[in-house]
C-alpha cells in the first residue's frame, strides 16, 4: 500500500499547511496512541516521549500531540528541545512505548514534521506508519476521564543524553589539548553537544547556539558550513564539528578549512574499526555515496552495499546484513555498536577516537580516498512525462553508462515530492561528468 502522509522520514511540511496543522496533529497522535495500545500487552499502559527541536512551531505541535495522546489514554513525557537521537536514546533507556520527535531536520524554520521511534530506539517502520494511516480513517474519539493520559516533564533529559554520548567515547582517551569549534545550527543540540566535547577535555568554541525559534539552520550547521569554516580559521582551531537542526547529521572541518562529508567520514569509521580488530562484514552507503569511497572500502577487504537515499533505508539494510557501520554523504552516520540510530555528536566522537587511535589528522586518514567529482542536475519536467518509457532518454543513459564503464557511474532518480528528475554523473573528470549529465538532461522535456 502507498502511504498518504508519511514520507521517507516521517511527516513533514510547511507549518499552517495541511497536514502540519493542529487538528491533524491531534488526530495523528490519537491514531498513533490507538495503534500503540492495540499492540501493547494486556493491562499495560502506554507511555510516549515527545521531544522537539527549536522551531517556534514546536510549542504548537507539542500541545496538539499531547492532547491527542491523552485522548487515546496514553501517558506523555515531555523533554523539550532534544536532538532526534537523544529522543531515541531516552525512549529506550526509560523503557517507554515509543518516542516522538517534532522536527523538520535541516529544513528552514517555516517547516516542521513528526517522526516516531520504537521502544528500542530505532525508527518505526512502514507497517506501523500504514497502521496509523488506516486508523486516521476512523473518527476521533476520547477515552473516559479516568483513563485519560497524564503528562509529565523530564527535567534531566539533557544531562542524561550528555552522559550517554560521553559513554561512547573510549574510556582510555580524552580530548585534552584539542581546540574545537562546535556548530549546533541554532538547533536541538545547542545545550548538549558543546558540553559533551567540553566535559571530555576539549577547549570548545560554540557557534549556532542561540536559537530564537526562527533561526534554525539559517547560515549555520551541517547544511551551511561556511560559518564553521570561517570560525575554525579565525580562532586557529584544530577541528570544526557541524550538526544540523535536529543533530543527526555531521560534517567536519580541519584546521585548513577543508570540509569532510559523510561519505569520507564513513570510510574513517570503517577503517578504524577494522584496524582495532572489530569484525565488520561490510559498510552500507546509499545510491549517492561517492564511487571513490565505495572503491576504498572494498580495498579494505570488506563488503559495500548501497541502500536507497535516506538513513532509515541504510538502517534497514544494516539490520538485514547484520553489519554495524553505514551512512550517507549528507552526514547521517550510523554506528550500531554505539547507538540505535544516526547521531551527529556520537559520530563526531567516533571520528575523534579514530584520529587518536591512529595519531593522524583527518586528511592523513583519507589520503588514499580521492573523491570523484559529482555533477547533479535537477530537471523540472512537464506534467505527465514518463521518463522510464522515453526511448531516446534510455538510449542516451545507456550510452553514457557504456562510456563511463569502470571509471564512473550514472544515477537517474525521480523526486518523491515534486516533478523533478535528478540526473547524477560521477567520474574522475569533472568536465566529462558535466557533459554527460547535460547530454541526458537536454533530452528531458522541461516544464
Of 57, 70, 105, 206, which one is the catalytic site residue? 105
- Taking only Cα atoms into account, the Rg of the chain, rounded to an integer number of angstroms, comes to 22
Residue 105: active-site member? yes
> Count of CB atoms within 10 A of residue 229's CB?
20
Helix 22-39 with 57-71: angle, nearest 10 deg: 40
Q: CA-to-CA distance for 23 and 345, rounded, in angstroms?
A: 34
Q: CA-to-CA distance for 201 and 312, rounded, in angstroms?
A: 33
DSSP letter (8 states) at residue 169: S
Q: CA-to-CA distance for 205 and 233, rounded, in angstroms?
A: 12
In sequence order, the 6+-apart residues with CB closer than 8 A to the CB of 177 are: 201
Q: CA-to-CA distance for 371 and 351, rounded, in angstroms?
A: 18
Under 8 Å between Cβ of 312 and 123: yes
Q: CA-to-CA distance for 102 and 61, rounded, in angstroms?
A: 7
DSSP letter (8 states) at residue 154: -
Phi, psi of 258 (to 5 degrees): -70, 130
Helix 262-275 with 344-358: angle, nearest 10 deg: 50
- Which of 327, 338, 429, 419 lies closest to 382, judged by CA? 419
Under 8 Å between Cβ of 385 and 445: yes
- Which of 84, 75, 82 lies closest to 152, judged by CA? 75
| Length of the chain in terms of residues written | 447
> Count of CB atoms within 10 A of residue 12's CB?
21
Under 8 Å between Cβ of 73 and 37: yes
- Which of 204, 197, 225, 207 lies closest to 346, judged by CA? 197
Catalytic residues, which ones?
Answer: 105
Amino acid at each position: 500500500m502507498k502511504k498518504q502522509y508519511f514520507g521517507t522520514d516521517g511527516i513533514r511540511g510547511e507549518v499552517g499547511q495541511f497536514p502540519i496543522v493542529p487538528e491533524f496533529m491531534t488526530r495523528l497522535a490519537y491514531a498513533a496512541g490507538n495503534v500503540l495500545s492495540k499492540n501493547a500487552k494486556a493491562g499495560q499502559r502506554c507511555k510516549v516521549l515527545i521531544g522537539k527541536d527549536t522551531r517556534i512551531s514546536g510549542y504548537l505541535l507539542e500541545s496538539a500531540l499531547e492532547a491527542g495522546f491523552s485522548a487515546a489514554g496514553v501517558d506523555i513525557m515531555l523533554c523539550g528541545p532534544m536532538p532526534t537521537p537523544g529522543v531515541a536514546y531516552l525512549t529506550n533507556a526509560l523503557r517507554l512505548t515509543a518516542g516522538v520527535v517534532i522536527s523538520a531536520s535541516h529544513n528552514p524554520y517555516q517547516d516542521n514534521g513528526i517522526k516516531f521511534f520504537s521502544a528500542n530506539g530505532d525508527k518505526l517502520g512502514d507497517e506501523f506508519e500504514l497502521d496509523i494511516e488506516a486508523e486516521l480513517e476512523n473518527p476521533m474519539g476520547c477515552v473516559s476521564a479516568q483513563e485519560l493520559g497524564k503528562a509529565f516533564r523530564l527535567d534531566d533529559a539533557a544531562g542524561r543524553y550528555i552522559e550517554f554520548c560521553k559513554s561512547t567515547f573510549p574510556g582510555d582517551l580524552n580530548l585534552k589539548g584539542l581546540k574545537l569549534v562546535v556548530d549546533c545550527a541554532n538547533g536541538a543540540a545547542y545545550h548538549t553537544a558543546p558540553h559533551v566535547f567540553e566535559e571530555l577535555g576539549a577547549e570548545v568554541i560554540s557557534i549556532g547556539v542561540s536559537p530564537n525559534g526562527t533561526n534554525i539552520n539559517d547560515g549555520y550547521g551541517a547544511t551551511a558550513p561556511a560559518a564553521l569554516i570561517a570560525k575554525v580559521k579565525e580562532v586557529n582551531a584544530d577541528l570544526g564539528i557541524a550538526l544540523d537542526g535536529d543533530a543527526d547529521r555531521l560534517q567536519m572541518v580541519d584546521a585548513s578549512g577543508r570540509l569532510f562529508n559523510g561519505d569520507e567520514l564513513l570510510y574513517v569509521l570503517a577503517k578504524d574499526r577494522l584496524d582495532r580488530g572489530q569484525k565488520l562484514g561490510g559498510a552500507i552507503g546509499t545510491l549517492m555515496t561517492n564511487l571513490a569511497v565505495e572503491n576504498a572500502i572494498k580495498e579494505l577487504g570488506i563488503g559495500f552495499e548501497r541502500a536507497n537515499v535516506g538513513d532509515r533505508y541504510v538502517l534497514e539494510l544494516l539490520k538485514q546484513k547484520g553489519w554495524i557501520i553505514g551512512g550517507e554523504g549528507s552526514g547521517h552516520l550510523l554506528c550500531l555498536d554505539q547507538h540505535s540510530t544516526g547521531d551527529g555528536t556520537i559520530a563526531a566522537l567516533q571520528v575523534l577516537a579514530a584520529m587518536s587511535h591512529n595519531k593522524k589528522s583527518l586528511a592523513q586518514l583519507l589520503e588514499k580516498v580521492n573523491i570523484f567529482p559529482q555533477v547533479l542536475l535537477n530537471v523540472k519536467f512537464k506534467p505527465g512525462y514518463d521518463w522510464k518509457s522515453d526511448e531516446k532518454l534510455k538510449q542516451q543513459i545507456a550510452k553514457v553508462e557504456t562510456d563511463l564503464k569502470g571509471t564512473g557511474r550514472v544515477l537517474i532518480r525521480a523526486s518523491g515530492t515534486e516533478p523533478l528528475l535528478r540526473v547524477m554523473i560521477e567520474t574522475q573528470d569533472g568536465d566529462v561528468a558535466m557533459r554527460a549529465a547535460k547530454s541526458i538532461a537536454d533530452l528531458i522535456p522541461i516544464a
